[in-house]
């Protein structure tokens, strides 16, 4: 049933990390599969009057440390197995960065680019209705992911609140500020990626400045703020891409112009900017660069194309963009890999801040949010480095080991019911 490449990869990483650290097999046994999984039909009326049914999912992997937390993805590749893999990664991500949250994920198998705004609203409201009894502000809290955004969360919040008869602010994070969102949440994942790139650069003695070249695969909610942040530090963003293709300028791109183009015309395809060249996503991954940030989807750098990658730092902005074969090859070649559960954890960290602010109805300023985000990621980065050195493993395994240590402690203390 769980046969998606991402699930197999996460499962193998879990088994290998457990073996290296000597995790109790009885703890491992409980982490191999999700705690609960729900599949729902999401029928909606399209603008042309016909009815179409989409398949939706919500998976809760482990809730030992707290309520489930994880995004909602709208993408044609969404299925139960991929959603289960992403929920598992959320368990380890939340544990690694020390949040009182468990792992969950959801999604609908749909290409959101093919639906109108009204159709997307109907889809979101029906999906929220179908999964409403499975989630809750103290049970499982969704957020945006690929193909969803603040508007999706606002529709979700409204639907859930209508069903409960009062506003339930804590049901989702990643909300727009005007409906209870947090300052800094929209940029938080990309900002966290940029913080981690800085920690890695410091570790390998690279100075981020005007000679630092950065390539970004996936120019969305993660890729755009990561590009903006690194550019503000002086780095040259030489190429960015989306599903339609990539744009390249060896002297550095005007990131704000690229972002404006995408907002107005949806895709980077055919972008017209002086001095730029259109290239393919494959060509982008093979560019000569100091830093590569795969921030689109999973399984992008594989055994087939990892030999072309030349970056010194590879920051996994997306979940699972490097397959385990690619991680092994690139680590041996000397690249510094920042693992996904650390690198893109900025989003769930500020989601946690949003949830806490919503529960207290007391809101923090941006400096407080970014300061706390920085400190949590720095501590987590240092913990992963300690595990990497202690166990002599690659950064991906080290991050899993650090997360498993926290989970192991919590699962032992809570025990197994009935024992
Ligand atoms: P998004 O939908 O905002 O952007 C995704 C980008 O990737 C778009 O530019 C899209 O065109 C591009 N893309 C999609 N398929 C592609 C393909 N086959 N080849 C090249 N580009 C492709 O999504 P996002 O929220 O930025 O999420 C990106 C990744 O980051 C996902 O793996 C997601 O799980 C992960 N992530 C997101 C968050 C968050 O807060 N949004 C947090 C943690 C992890």
> What pLDDT score was predicted for residue 419?
81
Q: What is the CATH number of domain 188-343?
A: 3.40.50.720
Q: What's the gap in Å between 410 CA and the centre of ligand 1?
A: 32
105 is catalytic: yes
Task: pLDDT band for 392, please (50, 70, 90 cuts).
Answer: very high
Ligand 1: nearest atom to the Cα of 344: 43
Active-site hit among 105, 236, 324, 396: 105
Ligand 1 binding pocket (C-beta < 6 A) is 144-147, 189, 218-223, 241-243, 281, 295-297, 317-319, 344, 347
Domain spanning 20-179, CATH class: alpha beta
For residue 290, is pLDDT > 90?
Answer: yes
Residue 270 confidence class, pLDDT cut points 50, 70, 90? confident
Tens of pLDDT, residues 273-289 = 999 999 999 999 999 99
Domain extents in the chain: 20-179, 188-343
Instruction: Tell me the pLDDT tens digit for each residue of 22-60.
Output: 999 999 999 999 999 999 999 999 999 999 999 999 999
Cis peptide bond upstream of 418, omega within 30: yes
pTM equals 0.97
Longest Cα separation, the chain: 67
Beta-strand relationship, 51-62 and 36-45 = antiparallel
Cα of 215 vs centre of ligand 1, distance in Å, is 15
pLDDT of residue 1: 80
**How far is the C-alpha of 126 from the C-alpha of 277, rounded, in Å?**
42
Task: Tell me, yes or no, if the two domains 20-179 and 188-343 fold the same way.
Answer: yes
Q: For the residues 143-170, what does the mean pLDDT come to?
A: 97
Closest C-alpha to ligand 1, atom 4: 220
Across 85-94, average pLDDT: 98
pLDDT at 218 over 90: yes
Which has the minimum average pLDDT: 65-69, 268-272, 408-412?
268-272
């Amino acid at each position: 049933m769980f046969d998606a490449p991402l699930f197999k990869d996460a499962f193998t990483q879990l088994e290998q990390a457990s073996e290296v650290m000597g995790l109790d097999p009885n703890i491992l046994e409980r982490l191999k599969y999700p705690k609960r999984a729900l599949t729902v039909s999401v029928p909606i009326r399209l603008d042309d009057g016909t009815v179409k049914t989409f398949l939706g999912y919500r998976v809760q992997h482990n809730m030992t440390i707290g309520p489930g937390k994880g995004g909602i993805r709208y993408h044609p590749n969404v299925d139960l197995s991929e959603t289960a893999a992403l929920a598992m990664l959320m368990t380890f991500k939340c544990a690694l960065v020390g949040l009182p949250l468990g792992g969950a994920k959801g999604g609908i198998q749909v290409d959101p680019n093919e639906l109108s705004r009204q159709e997307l609203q109907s889809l979101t409201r029906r999906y929220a209705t179908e999964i409403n009894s499975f989630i809750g502000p103290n049970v499982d809290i969704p957020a945006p992911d690929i193909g969803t955004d603040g508007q999706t969360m606002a529709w979700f919040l409204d639907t859930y609140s209508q069903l409960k008869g009062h506003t339930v602010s804590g049901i989702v994070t990643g909300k727009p500020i005007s409906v209870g969102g947090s300052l800094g949440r929209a940029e938080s994942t990309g900002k966290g990626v940029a913080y981690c790139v800085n920690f890695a650069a410091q570790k390998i003695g690279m100075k981020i400045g005007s000679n630092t070249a950065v390539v970004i695969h996936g120019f969305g909610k993660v890729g755009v703020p990561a590009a903006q942040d690194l550019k503000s530090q002086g780095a040259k963003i030489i190429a960015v891409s989306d599903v339609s293709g990539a744009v390249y300028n060896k002297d550095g791109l005007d990131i704000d112009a690229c972002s404006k183009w995408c907002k107005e015309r949806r895709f980077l395809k055919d972008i017209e900017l002086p001095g730029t060249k259109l290239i393919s996503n494959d060509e982008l991954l093979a560019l000569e660069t100091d830093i590569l940030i795969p921030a689109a989807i999973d399984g992008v750098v594989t055994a087939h194309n990892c030999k072309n990658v030349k970056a010194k730092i590879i920051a996994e902005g997306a979940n699972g963009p490097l397959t385990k074969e690619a991680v092994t090859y690139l680590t041996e070649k000397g690249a510094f890999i920042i693992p996904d559960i650390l690198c893109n954890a900025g989003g769930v960290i500020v989601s946690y801040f949003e949830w806490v602010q919503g529960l207290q109805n007391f809101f923090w300023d941006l400096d407080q949010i970014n300061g706390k985000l920085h400190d949590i990621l720095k501590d987590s980065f240092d913990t992963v480095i300690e595990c990497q050195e202690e166990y002599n493993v690659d950064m991906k395994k080290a991050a899993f080991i650090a997360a498993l240590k926290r989970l192991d402690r919590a699962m032992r203390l809570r025990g197994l019911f009935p024992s």
